[in-house]
Amino acid sequence: MKARVRGIYATALTEALLDAGHDVVDASAPIRRRFDAEFGTAAPDVRIATTEDRQGVGAHGDPEAVETLRDRLAATGVDTLAWSDPTPPGTVLDGTATETLGGGAVVRLRLDDGTVEGYLPYGSVDDRVETGDSVRVQVRESAAPWTDRRPEVAGSLRAGDGLVALEPGSGTRVDVRRDEAARELSGMLDLLGLEPPEGWRAVWKPPAVDADTEALRAGLDRAVAAAEGLGDVVDAAGGVGVLDGATDRRDEPVARPNAGFWAWFGRESRFALDDRRRTVTATMPGHHRVKAGAADASTGVDLAEALCEPDADAAFPFGVVTDAFGPAEGDALRLEHGKPDGRLITLGEATVTAVDADGSVTVEREMTGGGTYDGLDVPREAGDVAETSLKEGRWWYPTTYRGRDGTVRGTYVNVCTPVEVFPDAARYVDLHVDVMKHPDGTVERVDDDELREAEAAGEVPEALAEKARSVASALENAL
């Protein structure tokens, strides 16, 4: 398997891939400096990229390579969770325009349970798109399930890999900023003696700049084969774009040349990746944890590691990190509640009332009236206060509800993957099973059935499910 890796996890994942006997191609300059290894320029079988929020990675490419990689990454740590991507780039599928926005249309894709939506920019489709139109689109860019982004789709086709792609048109387009390199690539088709199929044009990608002639020829051959195969399948199904009334609508993808998955790295997984990275270069405790928490933290982490040799056995410097990036007392902090099926729910925003260097952070929310507290069956009244006690790295956190007069109305303890307190949000994955303490002192454990169902569905790995049950049992005894 040949893989291309980018983002804050690149060094650790490159080490893991090389250790498993795989090849890493199109490596970045820092990766080339850190490793005593040969890095080729051939097109990758799979591309691995850190998600925009730095929570994890997405991997897309050849289905067999993707499956191999998923098994490898799922073993990163006990709190690594992975989900198949229903819309890997290149997939062609049908849908219905449900809403028209300023720059594009929202499309409900005919896939799975019909809840997957895509965003179709008007500029990517020839015909005018109206609400209710049936469309056939190709996925350009997918989106992690825990984000609020929709996959971006287009009303035209594209085929190819990381070196060269083919798209409808004529001539050659070079997607490279360096003028000299762009001029060289623009004449590469003539040099190679190759022509794209009629109606297609070649688009050279940035990795093509460093690729040798053999790799470029192989990349173009693959792109031509992919374009011809994709074009035949889509033409036989009635074309792409806005569909007329005579074209059959498909409930399954018209074409799915690639596969993909998304991997969520929890706190323990990040520290396992630290250990991997440390075998290659200086790595501070919590390297990936700090970088995941704040976009502007990377420079500070890199500087600290360049100036001194970090102590691998030192504790994670939570106090130093929060002093530099937050949160601080008085700040607003979101409670980002991940679910084992890949969704992320924001439970609300709370005010930080205390921060301690040992990793403890206390937040409070004032409640609105109406309804009852989940599981406690106690009326929720206006002016009630919910106090949540978070601690970095702990597998659970309690929320105590108090009335306006300070009377305890109950405590709900959530069992979850180890909590990470980032500058703007506390994040974890809920593991279903919870423990409650009612106002009369009765302790109750709930939702074991939901954990069993999630484990049976493959959403929660066996080791993680057993850890959740163990934590819940300990909480029952302690309360």
Q: Is residue 294 part of a domain?
A: no
SS3 call for 310:
coil
Residues 137, 118: Cα–Cα separation, whole Å: 9
pTM: 0.94
Q: Is residue 274 part of a domain?
A: yes
**Total Cβ atoms within 10 A of residue 230:** 22
Q: Of 70, 101, 106, whose CA–CA distance to 88 is shortest? A: 70
Are 339 and 464 found together in one domain?
Answer: yes
Are 265 and 173 found together in one domain?
Answer: no
Are 71 and 190 found together in one domain?
Answer: no
Residues 94, 331: Cα–Cα separation, whole Å: 45
Task: Assess contact for 378 and 400: CB atoms under 8 A.
Answer: no
**pLDDT for res 392:** 98
Are 445 and 343 found together in one domain?
Answer: yes
Report the amino acid identity of residue 202: A
Q: Is residue 300 part of a domain?
A: no
Q: Provide the domain limits for residue 182.
A: 159-234
Can you give the pLDDT of all 479 residues of the chain as single tens digits? 999 999 999 999 999 999 999 999 999 999 999 999 999 988 899 999 999 999 999 999 999 999 999 999 999 999 999 999 999 999 999 999 999 999 999 999 998 767 799 999 999 999 999 999 999 999 999 999 999 999 999 999 999 877 888 988 887 888 777 667 667 777 777 777 777 888 888 888 888 888 888 888 888 888 888 988 998 999 888 899 999 876 788 889 999 999 999 999 999 999 999 999 999 999 999 999 999 999 888 888 999 898 888 888 899 999 999 999 999 999 999 999 999 999 999 999 999 999 999 999 999 999 988 888 888 888 889 999 999 999 999 999 999 999 988 899 999 999 999 999 999 999 999 999 999 999 999 999 999 999 999 999 999 999 999 999 999 999 999 98
Residues 189, 194: Cα–Cα separation, whole Å: 5
Are 53 and 66 found together in one domain?
Answer: yes
CA distances from 63 to 13, 45, 167, 227, 340 (A): 19, 9, 22, 18, 23
Are 350 and 201 found together in one domain?
Answer: no
Are 466 and 330 found together in one domain?
Answer: yes
Are 77 and 39 found together in one domain?
Answer: yes
Residues 354, 180: Cα–Cα separation, whole Å: 57
CATH of the domain at 111: 2.40.50.140
Q: Work out the angle at residue 156's Cα, subtended by the Cα atoms of residues 152 and 158, and round it to the nearest 5 degrees.
A: 85
CATH of the domain at 385: 2.40.380.10
Token pair for residue 138? 């190709």
**pLDDT for res 290:** 97
Overall domain count for the chain? 4
Are 66 and 121 found together in one domain?
Answer: no
**pLDDT for res 178:** 66
Residues 60, 399: Cα–Cα separation, whole Å: 39
Burial class for 469, CB neighbours closer than 10 Å (0-12, 13-18, 19+):
middle
Cα 128 to the center of its chain, rounded Å: 32
**Element counts in the chain: helices (H) and strands (E):** 12, 25
Are 357 and 448 found together in one domain?
Answer: yes
Q: Of 386, 288, 330, whose CA–CA distance to 51 is shortest? A: 288
Token pair for residue 418? 């180890």
Q: Is residue 116 part of a domain?
A: yes
Are 430 and 401 found together in one domain?
Answer: yes
Q: Is residue 320 part of a domain?
A: no
**pLDDT for res 246:** 66
Q: Is residue 47 part of a domain?
A: yes
Q: Is residue 290 part of a domain?
A: no
Q: Is residue 285 part of a domain?
A: no
Are 375 and 454 found together in one domain?
Answer: yes
